[in-house]
Every structure is written in C-alpha cells, then in structure tokens.
Amino acid sequence: MLPNKLKELKRRRWVLLALTTLGLIGSAAGNVLNARPTLEAQIIALGPPVLFFLAFEVASRNPLAKERHISLKWMLYLVLGALGLLMGLNSFFHQRSAFYRESGDHLTANTLPIAIDCFMLICAILVLELEAQIRDIKSRMATGKTAAEVEKSLPAPRPPQEPKVTGREKVAMFLAKYPQADVNELVEKTGLSYNYVSTLVKQMRAMPVTANA
C-alpha cells in the first residue's frame, strides 16, 4: 500500500516538475524575445524565470525541520513570496512587450504573462506539498510513523542540571547564616533528620574557627 502510494506521489512530482519547466520555458521565451540580440542580454533575460524555478526547487528539496520556530518558517515563505513577486514583475513587462510585438493583441499581451507566471507558481507550491507527503510516506515505511510523529517521539533535550547540594553543605550554609540557631531550627530549614543535623552541628561547632587576617 505505502510503496504504491510513494510511487504515485513521485510520478505526480515529476509531472508537476515537467509542467513547471514548461511554464519556465514559456516565461523564458517571452523574456528572451524582448531582450537585445546579444548573448549577455539574453542570459540576463533568463534570470527571473530561472531564479524563480530554482528557488522553489531548493525549498522543496531542503525543508526546515518541524521543531524550527514558526518565525523562521514564515520568514522562508515571505522571502519566497517576495522573490516570486519580484521575478513576476520582471518577467511581466518583458513578456508583455514581446507578446504584443508578435501578436499585436493588447489582451493577450497583458494577460498571458500573468497566466504563465501564476501557472508556474501553482505548480511550484504543489511540488512543495508533494515533497512533504513523500517524506511522510518514507518515514512511515521506515518506522511506521509519519515524519511529524517521529520528531515528536524524539526525547526533548534535557536542561543543564544545577549541582546538587549535599546535606552537610545545607547545614553549613544555614549555620553560617544563623550561627545561634538550635538543632530544631536547622532541621526545619534543611528538611534533614534530627540525628543527622545534630551530629553535623556538633562536628562543625567543635571545629576551630580560623581568624581572618
């Protein structure tokens, strides 16, 4: 069941990649047609659609881990959205000029570039979704759980533990703070047994006091 589902998702991904590439070719063609007839100008004209395609392909192949803070994920999506908008603006005017020059139709020149770039954007977003589904299927095949469930089952990192204070150190600290305290008071403050505190107090008060210079 899962292997068949994985094959189907991979097949869909390749279809979407092919469709995105088709949109890339259409956008690139419009940009190149409007560029000056030099190699440098044509390479520059290819920049917006190619960069748009590569950005979404990189994002789909290198997803952020589930435990990453939501702000980092939103930052990625905002940057991708801004990049898509910038590349769309660059492509639109070049394609509009080229399509109007070749067709002489204002409606085609103004709407076809938008349709091509929106088509690329839809396919790119769907590729991101399919990549996420493929990762979940692979994780379930390996562990019986989805990728999200696997990450939730991982042990949380333990916070650094503070050094443990011994009973003797507790008694010494309270005795230093309250030198006239009796055993009952020290037992109440430290939570230790009466006999243990009594023995420690006798030992500590029997020790010679070193005078400070």
pLDDT computed for residue 213 by the predictor: 39
Q: How far is the C-alpha of 93 from the C-alpha of 30, rounded, in Å?
A: 9
pLDDT computed for residue 24 by the predictor: 84
Cut 0.75: pTM above it:
no
CB 55 within 8 A of CB 83: yes
| Nearest-10 Cα torsion for 183, 185, 190, 194 | 40
- Cα–Cα–Cα angle for 21, 27, 33, rounded to 5 degrees: 130
Residues of the chain with pLDDT under 50: 211-213
pLDDT tens digit sequence for 81-133: 788 788 878 788 888 888 888 888 889 888 988 888 888 888 888 888 888 88
